[in-house]
Every structure is written in C-alpha cells, then in structure tokens.
Amino acid sequence: MVTVRLARMAMACRFELVLQGEHEPWLRAAGEEALREIERLEQMLSIFRPGSDVSRINARAAREPVRVNPTVFKWLEEAQRLHRQTGGAFDLTIAPLMQAWGFYEDGGCLPDAAELAAARRCTGMNLVELDTANRTVAFQREGMRLDFGAIGKGLAVDEAISILREAGVERAFLHGGTSTMYGLGRPFDEPGWKVVVPYPDRPAEPVGVVTLVDESLSVSAVWGKSFEAEGRTLGHVLDPVKGRPVQGAVLAAVVDPSGTVADAVSTALLVRGSPFENSAIRSLVIVVDDESDTYSILDAGLSADDHAVTRSAHS
Amino acid sequence: MTNLPEAGNLSRRSFLKKSSLVPITTVLAGLRSEKARADAFADDVNVAVIGFGSWGREVAATLERIPEVRLAAIVDTYSVMLTRAERSFPDAATYEDYRAVLDDASISTVLIATPTHLHHQIAIEALDAGKHVYVEAPMASTVEDARAMARAARDATDQIYQVGLLSRSHPNYRSVFQFIRSGALGKATMARAQWHAKESWRRASPNREREIAQNWRLDSDVSTGLIGEIGTHQIDPAMWFLAARPVSVAGFGQIMLWDDGRNVPDTIQTVFEFDNGVHMLYDATLTSSFDAAYDVYNGRDSSIMFRDNRAWMFKEVDAPLLGWEVYARKDNFYKETGIALVADATQLDAQDVDPTEDDPNLETPLWYALREFIDNHAFGPYPPSAGYEEGYRAAVVAVKAHEATMNNERIEYDDALFEI
C-alpha cells in the first residue's frame, strides 16, 4: 500500500490530494487528472479571467440571453435550487454587493450608500432567467453579476472526485484550502477520513471531529478578508438579503454526500446563523455574542450520531 | 455583406481567383452583429467530435456555445468517455466507431481530437466521405502521414480543412502579427519560448489495455513528445510572425524526474535555426512549473512577450517613440515595464470598454479557432488561417524536432521535407 500526495494552486487556494493504493505512478496519474479538472473548473468559473464562462455571462447577460454549455447550465440550475432551499441565504448574484463592500480589493471597506443601494437592487437569484430549451441565461437587471465563490470549491471537489472514481481510485482525500473537502472510501487501516473542526479561539482543541466516508465536509468562516468599522469586525461573507456582512455566526460546517451542497449550505448557515431544523444535512454553527463576548455552538448532528440541535455556551 | 450567402456556393479554387489575401479579416470584421452572422447560415452545421479525452471535451463544450452548431455526435473508443459525453451533452449521439459518423449524411463536419497518431486515418477517410475536417495539431505523428493528409485536403477543394494551430485565429496574435510585420521589433534578432509544468503526463485507467492506449504520449513509437504535443503551438507562431522556416534543429532530451519506465523525455531543449538567420530557443519540462509558459520575440527596437495569449512590448531605450504607447496600459514585470498590446483597442473604446482593462469580450483561443472554422461553412470554403499548408509545415517541424530530442542530435530540414 502506497500513499501519494499531490497539490495544486487553484481558486486562490491550495488543493491537496492524498491517494492510497498499490501503484504509485498510476495513483499520481489519476490524481493529476483530478487536479487538472479543478483547474479547468477555475477557468470556467473565475470572475477574474475575462475568457471564463462566468465572465462572459456577466459581461453580456443583462443585454441578451447568453448561451452556455450544458455543464454550466446544470450548475446554474443547481445554484437556483440551492437558493430556494436555503431561503435565499445562498445566492450567486452576490458579486455587485461584494464589489460595493470592497471585498474584491484588499480587505473590504464601508460602501458608499448609493453604490450599496444599487448593488442591492441587482442582487437576487430570482432575477436570473434560465431558459432550459435554449440553454441560455439572462439577467433581468443591468449591473447584475454572478460570483461562484461560495460554491466553486464544492463543484470542483465533486468533479475531481468523480474523475478519481472513474479511474478506479478507491481511497483518497481531497481538500481545497481546508474549507471544502471530500473523503473517498476509507484510508488504509482506518474507519474513515478523520477531520477536526477546531474552536475559533483554541485551534488545538476540536469542537467537532468528523469521520468522512464517501462524503464531503465544508467549513465556512467569516475570518479571512475582513475590516474593522462601526466598532466591530466585518467579514467577507455577505447576507444577500440584508446586503451587509454576516453578523453573529462566525463558523459553519456542513456534511453532505455532495461537496456542492455542503459548500453552498455552509455559506447559507453563516447567513442564517443557525442550522436548518429537521434537515437530513449534518451541520454545526458557531455564533458569537458581541455583548457578552461568548459564543454558542449549535450542533445539528455534525459530530454526533443524533441530529438534534444542542446548544452549549463557552466563555 | 448582404450577398454573402451566395459565397457559400463558390468553390475554394474560384474564391481564390477572386481574392486570395483578404478573406478572413474582411468576413470577420463585417460580422460584429450576431444577427447578421446567423442570417448567413442557411442551416445549423451538424458536427461530430471524434475523440472525447480532455481536449475533445473542451472542443465539444466550445462548439456548444456557437449558436449555428448542432453537436450531433461524439465518438470515443472508450466507454467511460462516452458515459461522460452522455452526461455532459445529452443531446448528442454517442458512437465507439467513427465510421458511424462518416456514414451519416446529415453530419457535414468532423472535429478530430484523438491521439495524434490516429488523426491520419480518420482525417483521410473523413475527407473521402465528403466531410469538412478540423484536426488538432500536430496534424500527424509522422511526415508521411502529414503529407498524405495535406494532399487529401489540397485535393478536396470544396471541403474545409483546418488545423488546430490556435494562435492563427486569435485576435491578440493576429494583432501582434501585424504589429511585428509593420516593423515594431526593428530587426528581429532572436526568439525564445518555454513551457514548464510539474506533472507526470501519465493517464490512469481501471482497464490495463485502455491504460496503454491512453498513454500514447509516453510511447516513443507514436508520441511526438513535448515539442510536438505542446511546442507546436509555440513554434508555429514564430514561423508565422518571422515569415521564416527552420533550416535546422538541435535537440536534447532527458528523463529527469518521471523515470517510470517511459522513454519519451520529460525535459527537452531545442535550438531552431530559421532561414532568415534568427535562432529560437525552446525548452519544455514536466518537472518544474516555475515561470510556466511564455514566448519572447527579441528585436533591435523592442521585445514582445506572450503570456496566456496576451502580449506586451518592452521597448529599448534608444527605440523611436511610437506615440500611442504613452496612453497604453502598462504592467510591471520585475524591473521591466511592459506595454500591453491589446487587439481592437479602438473597438473596445467604441463599446465603452476601457482599453486599459482586460477585454471582457475576450474568448478562449479554441473558441476563435472554431468560430473561424464554422464561419467558413457559411462563407467559404476559403483558406483557413491554419489550413493544410500551415498544418503540414508545423507537423514536419515538430516531428523532426522530436526526433532530434529523442536522439540528442541536430537535424537539417531539407526543402524536400516541406514539399506536399
């Protein structure tokens, strides 16, 4: 049994892939194809590449319906479905808001009131028209733009894993920037791929330990790009309905067989501030109370077998 | 432009008599309006993609974005690829044997993205079956195969035959071509290009037999090596820009990292000597990704660099002032300042797009090549910007350069080699 580790920079983070099997060159070849697939997705999804499928949609869809390839169309339909299922908390049309809040620049800034109002007017997945017959996408309003940031890694992980399965790989672990990951099969001599979700203030201590077998874990957090204003820290995760950075929730983790779903829902849970009740999706949300400087962990079965929502406060 | 549909009835030969030099630029420039273009197509073009590996999939995905195309069929000998095809392109029929497509009279056009050494038979049979043919570069893995294909394409005067030398259709390359030909380099003195990546180039499959077939790039009996599979796309623009042909190539090849039983080098260096005296260095490796890929053309007055299909000019201090560069976008590369060479800068301005920003209308290189190929169905056949002659020349150069890297030798390109 050999272990091969590969890594590639894509989507502004480091994707790392561990494969286990019998034959090293073979595992490497399979892993390389999976990582190339991730690079290909980045080419299609990036809003920073003028030639990408998403850039083309953004440049033209307010003027005319833009024909897209079946894969991109399938992703758009998936994003629309996730938008509905999360009550609008996950929304692809977040780009103008991200721009207004300066999160495409260095660390973000308070937006100009008029710019913010304009951005809010053209935010909403309901303003995106998908025409199945012609496979086109159109925006109802000028200024609308898509940003696949909250779902891109999930799509990439799912596509890469399907490449590995087709090649015949049975044991692998893939993560993108440690935020969206997938455990394929089981590691040699272990019951599953063990992942630790640490406490925000105690990196060495696990708030949850998740064992992944043929499923994905996605962790979204407000840290990363952020700035100080109005006496608080404003992070780069935006509430598409309120048009401002998420308050309260600082971390959300979601386990699902689909990396795409896990990725989108983890963002949606940050926006919502609590797990979906009565949902089959295993999740966990950490919410900070600024007044008392405490946080609560809302665990909906992420690391436990029961799916009940439990609450516990930590100082 | 209103009489353009009639042009579709002209044979290539009669079209050539009327105008041999202007076709592509005039036709494309007149087609800014998608409506005008769509009107010129009597019917959608029914196409088949033969070979559904990673590049074939890219070809199919790009064709799907061209409104006048109907992707009717996808062919691959490997069932896993056909499953992928069904998933990604549910409206296309799938076949294991390309002959099914050649026998289908409703399909006018095939795009060949199989392993290089399999192009020859498919392309010749496709031309014989009356199909228009787009074939990936290099168009063949031996000079004999390439010559047979070029002859067949030459004789099929009413059929389009385009080779996937993508830079030839790309607006940025076309714009720099004119720029260089108008003397921007001063006297061209040297060229250098590289492609660096860190990957094994191996493919994995659960099926042993399939795996051998998939790893044709590593099989010295059929592979054209790094210089053929990659370098072709960087050597061809040099021939085009410099209006020159190599007279010799010195090659070196090593297996430095992926010593897994292969005998095709993972690292190569080549020196091409062109008939105008300019020498070009080209190196490629699968062992290091540092500095990725780029091409540089040096001249007395300036150097021009391509990266990611974009171009920058670096002027010598003593070069004459051109005027416009004062207003152009500039990007810093360590201690050098590159002046961005943007195609259609005035057009961008007219569309209210700042020419100092990246062009939001920019398409992928493959899109431009396929757009040209499909347009040719309505307006041609006219000679494609990468037709059988360009394709043949590029294949000869690549095949011989690969031979040089396999044997660490210097090879002269006899004039007879280039005769079709």
Lowest-confidence segment of A38-52, B29-43, B147-161 by average pLDDT: B29-43
A146 alpha-carbon distance from chain centroid = 14
R_g (Cα) of chain A, nearest Å: 20
**What whole-number distance in Å separates Cα of residue B238 and Cα of residue B275?**
12
Residue A274 confidence (pLDDT): 92
* Per-residue confidence band for A69, with pLDDT thresholds at 50, 70 and 90: confident
Question: What's chain A's average pLDDT?
Answer: 90
Residue A198 CA to chain centroid, in angstroms?
18
CB B7 within 8 A of CB B377: no
For residue A58, the chain B residue with the least C-alpha distance is B360
The amino acid that residue A114 corresponds to is A
Residue A283 in this model has a pLDDT that exceeds 80? yes
What mean pLDDT comes out for the span B375-384? Answer: 91
Residue B377 has pLDDT above 90, yes or no: yes
What is the mean pLDDT of the segment spanning B117-132? Answer: 98
Q: Which of B203, B151, B45, B185 is nearest to B389 (CA)?
A: B151
Yes or no, beta carbons of B360 and A59 under 8 Å apart: yes
- Return the bridge partners of A232, or none: A229
**pLDDT at residue A98, rounded to an integer:** 94
* For testing contact with chain B, the best of A22, A27, A33, A38 (most B CBs within 10 A): A33
Q: What is the pLDDT of residues B166-204, one digit of tens each?
A: 999 999 999 999 989 989 999 999 999 999 999 999 999
For B342, which DSSP code?
-
Higher pLDDT among residues B18 and A63, named by residue: A63
Over pLDDT 90: what percentage of chain A? 73
- Provide the 10 A C-beta neighbour count for residue A233: 16
Q: Do A56 and B363 touch (CB under 8 A)?
A: yes
Q: Which residues in chain A have their CB less than 8 angstroms from residue B361's CB?
A: 50, 59
Dig out the tokens for B287 from the structure: 């062992």
A236 pLDDT band, cuts 50/70/90, is confident
Cβ-defined contact of A67 to B359 (cutoff 8 Å) = no
- Interface probe, candidates A56, A78, A146, chain B, greatest B C-beta count within 10 A: A56
The predicted pLDDT at position B23 comes to 38
Determine, for residues B88 and A71 on separate chains, whether the beta-carbon distance falls below 8 Å. yes
Nearest 10 degrees: Cα torsion A80, A83, A84, A87: -170
* Average pLDDT taken over every residue of chain B: 89
Output the pLDDT for position B348.
Answer: 65
Please, what sign has the CA dihedral across residues B310, B316, B317, B319? negative
- For tokens 């150069």, what's the residue? B397
User: Residue A166 and residue B88: Cβ atoms within 8 Å?
Assistant: no
* Chain A residues touching chain B at CB-CB below 8 Å: 25-30, 32-33, 36, 40, 50-51, 55-56, 58-59, 67-71, 135, 166-169
User: With contact defined as beta carbons under 8 Å apart, do B200 and A32 qualify?
Assistant: yes
**What is the mean pLDDT of the segment spanning A112-141?**
95
pLDDT value at residue A116: 95
Nearest residue, CB atoms, B200 vs list A29, A40, A70: A29
CA distance B2 to A232: 64
Among A55-64, A236-245, B190-199, B316-325, whose mean pLDDT is lowest? B316-325
pLDDT in tens, B325-363: 777 888 899 999 999 888 777 666 666 666 666 666 678
pLDDT given at position B351: 63
B118 and B141 Cβ atoms separated by less than 8 Å: no
Residue type for position B297: Y
Instruction: Taking the CA atoms of A117, A123, A127 and A128 in sequence, report the sign of the dihedral they define.
Output: positive
First to last CA, chain B: 35
The Cα-based distances of B281 to B65, B86, B146, B229 in angstroms read 37, 43, 25, 17
Within an 8 Å CB–CB cutoff, is residue B88 touching chain A? yes
- Nearest-10 Cα torsion for B362, B364, B365, B370: -110
Token duo for residue B325: 């560069």
What's the gap between Cα A97 and its chain centre? 17
Stretch A50-62: mean pLDDT, rounded?
91
| B109's tokens | 């056009």
Residue with tokens 């386990």: A255
Structure tokens at A12: 């502004």
Given a cut of 80, whether residue A282 has pLDDT beyond it is yes
Cβ distance B61 to A59 less than 8 Å, yes or no, reads: no
Q: What is the pLDDT of residues A125-137, one digit of tens each?
A: 999 999 999 899 9
> pLDDT class for B151, splitting at 50, 70, 90?
very high
Residues in Cβ contact with B105 at an 8 Å cutoff, skipping those fewer than 6 apart: none
In this structure, which amino acid lies at residue B316?
E
Does residue A314 surpass a pLDDT of 70? no
Residue type, A173: F
Are the CB atoms for B385 and B21 separated by under 8 Å?
Answer: no
Most confident region among A275-279, B235-239, B338-342 by mean pLDDT: B235-239
The Cα B142–Cα B345 span in angstroms is 41
The answer to whether A221 touches A233, Cβ cutoff 8 Å, is no
Rounded mean pLDDT of B371-375?
96
* Average pLDDT of span B120-136: 98
Choice among A102-116, A218-232, B80-94 with the minimum mean pLDDT: A218-232
**What's the pLDDT at B159?**
97
- HEC assignment per residue over A54-65: HHHHHHHCCCCC
Amino acid identity for residue A285 in this structure: V
Q: What is the ipTM of this complex?
A: 0.84
Summarised one tens digit per residue, pLDDT across range A207-231 is 888 999 999 999 998 877 788 887 7
Instruction: Give the range among B47-61, B114-128, B309-323, B380-394 with minimum mean pLDDT.
Output: B309-323
pLDDT for the residue numbered B99: 98
Q: What is the pLDDT of residue B25?
A: 40
In B, which residues are within 8 Å of A28 by CB distance?
Answer: 200, 202
C-alpha distance across the termini of chain A, in Å: 45
